[in-house]
Each structure stands twice: as C-alpha cells, then as structure tokens.
Amino acid sequence: MSSLIKTILGVTTAVATLTQTITNGASLWGTLDCPTFPKFLTNNPLPLGYPWGGLTANGSNPYTQAPLTGVVRKYTFNVARTTLAPDGVDKDMIVVNGQFPGPVIEANWGDWIEVTVNNNLEDEGTSLHWHGLLQTATPWFDGVPSVQQCPIAPGASFTYRFRADLYGSSWWHSHYSGQYAGGLLGPMIIHGPNHLKGSEDYDVDIGPVFLTDWYHREYFDIVKDIMSTDIVTVLAAGASQNNLINGKMNYNCSLTTQACKENAGISKFSFETGKKHRLRLINAGAEGQQKFSIDGHNLTVIAHDFVPVTPYTVNMVSLGIGQRVDVVVTANGPATGSYFMRSSIQTGCTPSNQPDALAVIYYPSADTTKLPTSTAQTDTLSDCTEANYPLEDTTPIFTITPATEPEITHEIDITFGQNETGHWLWMMNDVSFRANFNAPVLLLAHAGNTSFPENWNVYNGGTAKTIRVILNNRSGVRHPMHLHGHNMFELSSGDGDWDGTVTNPTNPARRDTHVIRGNGHFVFQYDADNPGVWPFHCHIAWHVSGGLYVNLMERPDDIKDHMQIPQIMAQTCRDWATYTNGTVIEQIDSGL
Ligand code: C2O
C-alpha cells in the first residue's frame, strides 16, 4: 500500500483529495480507490527473499514455528462514538478512527503488533480482541474484559503488544458487551507462506470482504431488548434490518423513521481480466449466517479461518459469525464485464428484514456508473444445515494428528431458558455466564486462585496436555462456537449425539470457529500448550450477551509460577476501579 493510502486506512482520518470517494461508513473499503494488498510487506529483513525465510505452509508447523522477524507494526486506534450511515440510515455507532469498517492491521507472520487504544468514549469501557491469534506467551493481551483484563476506562489508553503468531485473514473487534455490533471492528491481514502452486496462485489480493448483518438501532438499545423478560421482544431484537458488504448497501427509506438517504451506494471492487483474485471473506455480523457467491464465477477456497486447506472449488460458501473463508476467483469474464457479488443471511434460521447484500465487481473496461445485469448462482447450500464445509472433505495443508485419547474431556450442554427473574438466558451446563469486569480470571489465577464464582463458568484443565470438549446443542438453533488461544481439531460434527467416531483422524480439519447444528453435537480437541484463560463462546453477539460462554483455564500452575504479567494490567484495573467507584456501570447482559 502507498503510504498515503496507508495513512487513510490506518491512523489519520481524512485527506482532502480523496474524501469525495469516502462514503457510507467513511472508510475506503469497498470503493474503487481501495488499494490491493501485496504478497507480503517488504520493509523488513527478507532472508531467502521472504520475511519468513525458508518456512513453508506444508512443511512448517504454524503453531510452533512463527519466525522471529524482529519487526514491530504500530497502530493507534481512537475509539469514539459517531453517527455514520453505512446503508444511508443514520446510526449511532462506535468506531475506530472515524471509520466503518475500521482500519486494517497488516503484518508479516512472526512480526509483533502494537496497538495503542485510546478510549474516547464518554461513558463506557472498551477492550479489543484480535480474533484467531493464539496470544502464546501474551495471554493478557487477548482483550476479553473480566477474563484477561479490566476494561479500558473512558479517557484511558492501553497498548496491546502481541505476536502475529498465525497467518491469513481475520479481524479485530471489541469484546465489551455488544459494542462490535455498533461498528467497533476491522480487518487483520497477516502475510505468510503460500501453499498455492504455479497456476493455482493468485495475482491480486483484493483484501477483506466484510459480510455483516446490519441493525439500525444503537447496540445497547438492542442489548436491552435481548435481555428483556418478554420473549417476543427478545426475538424481534435479533432480526437485522439489512445486510452489508464491506460496510455498504442501499436501503428503502420508507421502511424507517430514522434519518435516511436513498441510494447510499453499494461496495465496488475491480477485477483484472484473466487474473486470479484473492478475497478474504469475513462474517463479522451479530447474528446471521451468510451465503456468499459471485455471479458468473466460481470460488476456489484456500483457507478456513487461519488454516490453509487443500483448495476446492464451489459456487457458494457459507460462513458463520467469526468464520473467515479465503477464496481465489479467476476473472474469466470479458473486459467490459460487471457482476454482482452477493451475500445472503440464511433467513430460515435467522430473521432479517432485508437479508440480501449486494456489491459489484467491475472489469477494466466496464462502465462503473451502471449496475450489472448478471444472474445469481443457483443456491447449492441447504438453508439451515450446511454451516461448515464438510469435515470429511477438508484437508489442512499442514498435517497434524491429534492424540487419540485426551487426558481430560469436558462435556457441555447448551440450553436456553428463563431464569428466576424471568430473563431469557443461554446456559452452558445450566449456568449462564456473567462477567465481573473488576476481577479478570487470568490475573486471579496468576495470584494462585483456582476457584471462582459459579457464573464465571471456569473449566480448569489442570495439568492435562490434551483436552477434548464434547458439546451438545440442546437448543434448536445453530451456534458459531469460537475458541480463543487455539485452533480446534474438529473431530466430529453433526445431528444428534456423538457416536464416538472421529472424522479424518490422521489430519482432522482445524479452525477457530465452528458452527454447531441445532440439536446437534460438536466434538473438538486441543493441545494444552498455551497457558492462559481462553474464552469458548457462541459468536452471535446476542447469544454471548445472554451468557453462552465458558472460560477454559489452561495450565493454572504455569500461569501462577511462570508468568510475568506486565504492570499495565494491574494499572488498568486500578483505573477501572477508580472509574466504577464514581460511576455505576449499566451491565445488563453477560458483559461480553
Ligand atoms: Cu471474535 Cu471471543 O471473539
């Protein structure tokens, strides 16, 4: 990226000559001025021509062999409220540096990333999470309030410092209440070894393609309804008003009483005729599963979350919230071509008033003032079951065979019901999670505590080296389940209870977010090689607000005996305590 563009996407807010193209969410994403991305950043040492030297996707263990590049990438994120209109409807949002979607974090595999977050919110805390990174040896910078840190108090600053320990496509987002549904999110691109050979390889990296269901109300107003005792209110609050691609879409203003501008504009992308383009699809929504396709083009999938896979070609991909799918698309249309990109919320399982997002891809000689006349792909995904690509057909490029017998197994049931005060909550083994922002579990574990209040849902892995979780969904709805600190070995997924069979036992699929079916099971395993306290939760914003969350405490002895936790963690708690002594926090949901 040129430094001018980098400045726009990264740190400062506006440059006069380009402002006229910055519309909707005040970001360049989804405009024809949006830069493409290089194969890797070159402003650092390049042993053997690459930042990662001779490491390869199929020959190097991504979990243990991140290179020591010695490079630090620094970012400044100013978090503030603002009114933006991504689809033409004014929304009270919380964003970084004035933009939605927010600025990119870009690094090479093994670099350090330093993000200084200035909380310019007047009356709420915040905390940012770097979705999918392992945070090996820096678990305190994972960004989950009540778990690894106290929230950053209004007016305070906090610098996260962590390693780009995996490579591929992801996103960062607030982990404080439902803030990310208010706009507090952005992309993360980490360049690493490429497993695509010769003619399979891509030529142009288009970068992130955010798919977000969209709500016109301020996030906390929605959370209030989600936490209502009236089930009709709860269900109505979960229905989105629109669906966006890279933060843009049009809206029929007659459907809202909010300030609204017709034809706000949809995202635009450019394709080079005959070239192969990499698109980094990210479902960063609050509730809805997405089905993504491009008219007239197939999609070759090359990675699931941070896991490179043997490429396969489909006409449509499905993404649960939190999931990423990297695809390569060959521009085999005519130079004058233009095509719709589409993403649809699967309304059979998720309510949405306007579930279909559109964007346009323009070839070099296309008229960019006109919309395409292209035809949608046939829908090859059955609406509510096909959430993940089948495990049996997924082959991670780097083979890892998990232990056949884990040292411990947690069995966890997901249920939904009313508590004694009439609130509709999600439960894991009958307990609905609730955060205590003033007392992060990791810091308490470091001080030697191993027992915690029941509603903190802490599962202690002790000294076990391999841990299996058998998750049973006793509710009829799907949940995109996300584990921090690890990629999960996805051992089995399907309807009903587990029959004990492991899918592809020598090299099972791995990823950090997996959608469990309604009334289905999901069995996964991980190697406990990363001491810390790791959230495992449903990534539907409204479900985690309702308590669908557990903490997996990993190797507490190592947390207690061998961790040097930076001073800033205790200071942030003191600042938060000072703030909350004077101000009552309105924590009506789980807090996460
Ligand atoms: Cu993307 Cu616990 O989060």
| pLDDT tens-digit readout, 43-87 | 889 999 999 999 999 999 999 999 999 999 999 999 999 999 999
Tokens (6 digits) for 430:
């009958």
Please name the residue ranges forming H helices in 355-427: none
324 lines ligand 1 (CB under 6 A): no
**Model pLDDT for residues 436-491, shown as the tens digit of each residue:** 999 999 999 999 999 999 999 999 999 999 999 999 999 999 999 999 999 999 99
Please name the residue ranges forming H helices in 477-554: 541-545
Percentage of residues of the chain with pLDDT beyond 70: 96
Q: How far apart are the C-alpha atoms of 366 and 369, rounded to whole Å?
A: 9
Mean pLDDT, rounded, for 255-263: 95
Centre of ligand 1 from the C-alpha of residue 427, in Å: 18
Centre of ligand 1 from the C-alpha of residue 285, in Å: 12
| pLDDT of 562 strictly over 70 | yes
Q: How far apart are the C-alpha atoms of 474 and 490, rounded to whole Å?
A: 19
Q: How far apart are the C-alpha atoms of 101 and 343, rounded to whole Å?
A: 17
Three-state secondary-structure class, residue 43: coil
Position 384 in a domain:
no
| pLDDT of 17 strictly over 50 | no
Mean pLDDT, rounded, for 260-270: 96
| pLDDT of 321 strictly over 80 | yes
Centre of ligand 1 from the C-alpha of residue 144, in Å: 8
pLDDT tier for residue 7 given thresholds of 50, 70 and 90: very low
pLDDT tier for residue 584 given thresholds of 50, 70 and 90: confident
Say what the pLDDT of residue 19 is: 41
Centre of ligand 1 from the C-alpha of residue 188, in Å: 13
Mean pLDDT, rounded, for 292-315: 98
| pLDDT of 367 strictly over 60 | yes
Name the one residue in this structure whose structure tokens are 């998750």.
471
More confident of the two residues 384 and 94 = 94
543 lines ligand 1 (CB under 6 A): no
Say what the pLDDT of residue 384 is: 73
Position 361 in a domain:
no
Kind and range of the H or E run holding 280 = strand 276-283
Which atom in ligand 1 lies closest to the alpha carbon of residue 132? 1
The partner residues of 464 in beta bridges, in order of sequence, read none
Centre of ligand 1 from the C-alpha of residue 590, in Å: 14
pLDDT tier for residue 348 given thresholds of 50, 70 and 90: confident
Average pLDDT, rounded, for the chain:
94
**Which residue in 511, 452, 519 sits closest to 483, CA to CA?**
511
Percentage of residues of the chain with pLDDT beyond 90: 92
Which residue's CA is the closest to the ligand 1 atom numbered 3? Answer: 131
Position 443 in a domain:
yes
Which atom in ligand 1 lies closest to the alpha carbon of residue 171? 1
* Structural domains in the chain (count): 1
Say what the pLDDT of residue 383 is: 67
Any idea which of 318-322, 377-381, 567-571 has the lowest mean pLDDT? 377-381
Position 553 in a domain:
yes
Centre of ligand 1 from the C-alpha of residue 263, in Å: 33
Three-state secondary-structure class, residue 224: helix
More confident of the two residues 6 and 165 = 165
173 lines ligand 1 (CB under 6 A): yes
Name the one residue in this structure whose structure tokens are 């470091």.
446
Which atom in ligand 1 lies closest to the alpha carbon of residue 592? 2
Centre of ligand 1 from the C-alpha of residue 484, in Å: 7
Centre of ligand 1 from the C-alpha of residue 172, in Å: 8
Which atom in ligand 1 lies closest to the alpha carbon of residue 131? 1
pLDDT tier for residue 271 given thresholds of 50, 70 and 90: very high
pLDDT tier for residue 385 given thresholds of 50, 70 and 90: low
Structural domain boundaries enclosing 460 = 396-582
Centre of ligand 1 from the C-alpha of residue 43, in Å: 30
Say what the pLDDT of residue 347 is: 86
131 lines ligand 1 (CB under 6 A): yes
Position 279 in a domain:
no
Q: How far apart are the C-alpha atoms of 124 and 226, rounded to whole Å?
A: 19
More confident of the two residues 551 and 3 = 551
Position 211 in a domain:
no
**Model pLDDT for residues 21-42, shown as the tens digit of each residue:** 567 999 999 999 999 999 999 9
Mean pLDDT, rounded, for 373-386: 85
Say what the pLDDT of residue 22 is: 62
Which amino acid is residue 483, in one-letter code?
L
pLDDT tier for residue 10 given thresholds of 50, 70 and 90: very low
Cβ neighbours of residue 368 under 8 Å, at least 6 residues apart?
32, 268, 338, 362
Which atom in ligand 1 lies closest to the alpha carbon of residue 537? 2
175 lines ligand 1 (CB under 6 A): yes
Which atom in ligand 1 lies closest to the alpha carbon of residue 144? 2
| pLDDT of 146 strictly over 80 | yes
482 lines ligand 1 (CB under 6 A): yes
**Model pLDDT for residues 402-413, shown as the tens digit of each residue:** 999 999 999 999
129 lines ligand 1 (CB under 6 A): yes
Centre of ligand 1 from the C-alpha of residue 267, in Å: 26
535 lines ligand 1 (CB under 6 A): yes
Centre of ligand 1 from the C-alpha of residue 571, in Å: 24
Say what the pLDDT of residue 421 is: 92
Say what the pLDDT of residue 259 is: 95
Predicted model pTM: 0.95
Say what the pLDDT of residue 586 is: 87
Position 186 in a domain:
no
Position 319 in a domain:
no
DSSP track, 126-171: B-EEETT---TT-GGGS--BTTTBPPBPTT-EEEEEEE--S-EEEE
| pLDDT of 291 strictly over 80 | yes
**Which residue in 341, 211, 171, 212 sits closest to 271, CA to CA?**
341
| pLDDT of 13 strictly over 80 | no
Which residue's CA is the closest to the ligand 1 atom numbered 1? Answer: 131
CATH number at residue 473: 2.60.40.420
Cβ neighbours of residue 77 under 8 Å, at least 6 residues apart?
96, 97, 102, 103, 115, 116, 117, 118, 128
Tokens (6 digits) for 439:
């007392």
| pLDDT of 424 strictly over 60 | yes
Say what the pLDDT of residue 11 is: 37
Torsion angle, CA of 417/423/424/430, rounded to 10 degrees? -40
**Model pLDDT for residues 521-540, shown as the tens digit of each residue:** 999 999 999 999 999 999 99
